[in-house]
Chain A
Amino acid sequence: MSQGREHARAPSGARLEEAALIERVLAGDAAAERALFDAHVDRLYRLAFRMTGDEDLAGDCVQEIFVRAFDRLPGFRREAALGTWLHSIGVSVVLNALRKRKRTSGREVSLDAVGARGRSDATSAPLLRERLKKAIDALPEDQRLVFVMYEVEGYSHAEIASALDIPQGTSKARLHYARRKLRVLLADVVEHALYG
C-alpha cells in the first residue's frame, strides 16, 4: 500500500538485536539507551508532529514517551516488538497532550465549516492543501489518528491495532468512516485539483 507499511514487521534478526539492546539498556549502558532512542525517535516524532502540528508539543510528547519507556522497560514483556510497544505509549501520550490542549484552547473545526469553505475556487494547490488539512482536523480524534497513521504515515492495520490496543477490524472500520467523510468533504476540491 505505501512505503511505510513495508516495514510493519521487524525480521527475527532485528528482534534478536533489539533484545540484546534492551538487555544492555537494562544493565545501565548509556550508549545502548542512545541507540534505542535513535532507532525509534524519528517515527515517533513524525507521528507526534502529524497529530499535534506543533513542534514544541511534539517534542514534549516524544520526550515523555521515552521517559516512560525507559522507566517501564524492566516490565516490557517482549511479546510485541519494541517499536510497537513504544508506539502504544506514544499514542497514549499524544492523545493525552491533545486532550489537554483542547481543554485549554477549546478550538475545534466543525465538519460543516470545512465543507462550506473554499468551494468557489478550489483549483490552487495551496487551497487544496488547506482544505485537506482542515478536513482531516475536523475528523473525530479516533478516526483522525487511524487515518493519519495509515494514509499519511504508512502504518499497517496490525501496527495501528497494537498501538491503539484495538482489534484490526476496528482500525479498518475507523479508516473506512474517516475516508467516507473526507470523500464527501473533499469531492469538489479533489476533482478540480486532480482531474481539472
Chain B
Amino acid sequence: MSDDFFAGLRDELRAAYNAPPETPRESLWRGLQARRGGARPPLTILPAAAAGRRRRLGWALPIAAALLLGISIGRFVPFAAAPAADTATASGAPADPADGRTATSFGDLPAASRGPAAVADASEAESGGPAPASARSAAEEAGAGPGPAPTERLVGAEAARDGPAWPGAEVTDVADRFAAGEGRALRASRDALYRVAALETLGSAEALLGAVGGLEEGYGSAPAALAEWSHEMLSQTRLLLDSPAAGDPALRVLLQDLELVLAQLVRMGEGTTPEGDMVLIEGAVRERQLLHRIRAILPARPITSGT
C-alpha cells in the first residue's frame, strides 16, 4: 500500500486528532517564570546580584574598610591610653560606663549591657582570677600605666586564658577577638534583618490570604490580581527559605506551607488551574491553619479607636 491512504486523510487527521488550540504563550511564559523562580536555587541568582553590587560598590569597599579600621582603632586606643576616669573624655563620649561601646567592640554583648567594668569582671571570672602581671605589662608598654583601665584588664584576662604565644601576642589576641566580635555583631544584625523581612512577608501573606477568602465569598480582588500578588510573594518566600539566616525550623515549615499555597494561586491566575481548585486552595489554607500560624508569629498591632 502507498502513502496515498494517509495523504488523503492528512487534513482529517489534523482536524481529528487532538487539534491544538492557539498556544497560550503569555500564560505559559508566566507559569514558566513562576516555576523557575520557585525552583531555581538562590545561589544562581544571588551571586549575579552580588556581583553587580560588587561592581557598583567596588570603589567604596576600600574606603569602608579603612573607615572601619580607623573607627575600631579610634575606639580601642583611647581606652588603652587613658585611665578609666578619663576614657570618656578622651574618646569624646559620655562617661556613662554602661554605654556599651567597649563591649560592642569586643562583641561580648551580654556583658556589654553592663558596661566595660562588667566586661572585665566577666573576663576575670572566666580566667579564674585577676589578670597576671605578665598580661598587664602589655598595657603598660602601650602607655596605659598600671592603673585599672578597663581595656588593660580585658587584655590581661584574655592573655591569662590563652597565654601569650609570642611577644606582642596580646595585641593580636585583641584583634582576633575584635574580629570575632564584629562577626557576631554582623550575624546578629543579619538575623535581625531576616526577622524583619520574614515578618514583613508574613504580614503581606496574611493580607493576601484574607483576600483569597474574600474571593471565595464573592468579593475581594480578581483572580488575576491575586495571582500577580502571589507571584511576588512566592519570590520573597523562596528567598527567605533559601537565606542562610533561615534557622528557625517552625518559621521554615510555615514558609514552606505558604509557598505551596502561593504556587497554587499563581497557577490559578494562569488559567491552568480549574476554577474548582479555588475551593481546594481555600481548603489547604484552612487545613494547614496558615492564617492562624501567621498571626501567631506576627507581632500584635496597636488597636486604634474609631474607624
Bind each other = yes
Residues in chain A within 8 A of chain B (CB atoms) = 1-2, 28, 34, 37-38, 41-42, 45-46, 49-53, 55-56, 58-60, 62-64, 66-67, 70, 125, 128-130, 132-133, 136, 148, 151-152, 179, 182-183, 186, 190, 193-194
Interface residues of B (CB under 8 A from A): 1, 3, 5-6, 8-10, 12-18, 20-21, 23-25, 27-29, 31-32, 35-36, 39, 48, 270, 272-274
Residue from the list A46, A130, A179 in contact with B20, Cβ < 8 A: A46
* A132 contacts B21, C-beta separation under 8 Å: no
Please tell me if the beta carbons of B10 and A133 are within 8 angstroms of each other in the complex: no
Q: Is the CB of A63 within 8 A of B35?
A: yes
Interface of B is mostly: helix
Extra contacts besides A49-B21, A58-B20, A194-B8 (9): CB < 8 Å = A1-B3, A2-B10, A59-B28, A63-B31, A63-B32, A132-B12, A133-B16, A133-B17, A136-B17
Report the bound CA distance from A63 to B17 in whole Å: 22
Bound: A128/B8 CA distance, A = 13
Interface of A is mostly: helix
* CB-based nearest B residue for A45: B23
| CB-based closest 3 A-B pairs | A129-B16, A49-B20, A53-B18
B274 contacts across to A, CB distance below 8 A: 56
Residue of B nearest to A130 (CB): B16
- Rounded to whole angstroms, the CA-CA distance of A51 and B17 in the bound complex is 9
Please tell me if the beta carbons of B16 and A49 are within 8 angstroms of each other in the complex. Answer: no
Known contacts: A132-B9, A179-B6. The answer to whether A45 contacts B16 by CB under 8 A is no
Is there contact, CB below 8 Å, between B35 and A152?
no
Q: Are B13 and A183 in contact (CB under 8 A)?
A: no
